[in-house]
Each structure stands twice: as structure tokens, then as C-alpha cells.
Amino acid sequence: MERIKDNEMKPTEIDRILATEEPLIPTSGFLASVMERVREEAEAPAPIPFPWKRILPGVVLVAGIAAWGGVRLVRHGLPELGPMSLPMAHLPAAAIQPVEQAGWVALALGISAASWLLTRRLAGRSGLL
């Protein structure tokens, strides 16, 4: 047990006051109250686990779409965007379309991710997770 030693940590009046405090005795009902809550918790049904198995196909699908979107973007979007030096408005429609599609896919993925995070958070707060 390391106690205060050096000058800076030399015991002072403040130490004496803070170290010598009358102990607080818990009220008579405290123990019973804690045990009642423990019993309630023990009797409560087990929390519902997050349905990973059910959600897995959805996750795979979303990941597939994301991968597909990425591939499309790399194959069609980027090569045509590469030499671009003018604003988008001047690009031919054929070049804009894949970029637009990729944008929509990215937006959809973002919304999905946000809703998934929100669901997780709400479920966590309610004690389901």
C-alpha cells in the first residue's frame, strides 16, 4: 500500500478533513431493495438475441450490390471521368449515367447503413441486445 510521502503529498488539514469522514450506514431496506431487483432481473426473460441468421441474406445482398456498384463505377464511371476537365453538365449522357447510378447505389447503401445503426442503437437502449 503506497501512502502519501513526498512534500507535495504531505498530509494537510484538507487531507485530515477528507480522510476522516463518518461512515454512512445503508438504510435498513437497502439490502431487500437490491435483492428484489436481482430477483426481478433473474425472473425476466432472457434478452432476444439480434437475429444475425435472418439478417445474413440481407447483409450478403447489400454487400453484393455494393461490390457490383463498385465494379460498375470502376469499369464505366472512372475511365470516362478520368479525362474529364469540364463540369459534369458538358459530359455526354453515356458518361453521366453510370456515375449517376453509382451515386444512387451509394445513397441507398448509406441509408441502409444508417437505418441499421439506428435499429441497433434503439435495440441496445431497450435492452434487447
Residue 36 and residue 73 in contact, taking contact as beta carbons nearer than 8 Å:
no
Distance of CA 51 to the CA centre of its chain: 17
* Nearest distance, CB of residue 28 and another protein, angstroms: 11
Q: DSSP state, 9?
A: T
Residue 66 and residue 105 in contact, taking contact as beta carbons nearer than 8 Å:
yes
Residue 78 and residue 95 in contact, taking contact as beta carbons nearer than 8 Å:
no
* Nearest distance, CB of residue 45 and another protein, angstroms: 14
* Nearest distance, CB of residue 128 and another protein, angstroms: 15
21 vs 83, beta carbon nearer another protein: 21
125 binds another protein (CB under 8 A): no
Residues numbered 9 to 68 that lie near another protein (CB under 8 A) are 9, 11-27, 30-31, 33-35, 37-39, 41-42
Residue 80 and residue 95 in contact, taking contact as beta carbons nearer than 8 Å:
yes
Residues numbered 98 to 117 that lie near another protein (CB under 8 A) are none
37 vs 121, beta carbon nearer another protein: 37
- The 10 Å Cβ neighbour count of residue 105 is 17
Q: How far apart are CA 71 and CA 119, in angstroms?
A: 29
75 binds another protein (CB under 8 A): no
Residues that bind another protein (CB under 8 A): 1-4, 8-9, 11-27, 30-31, 33-35, 37-39, 41-42
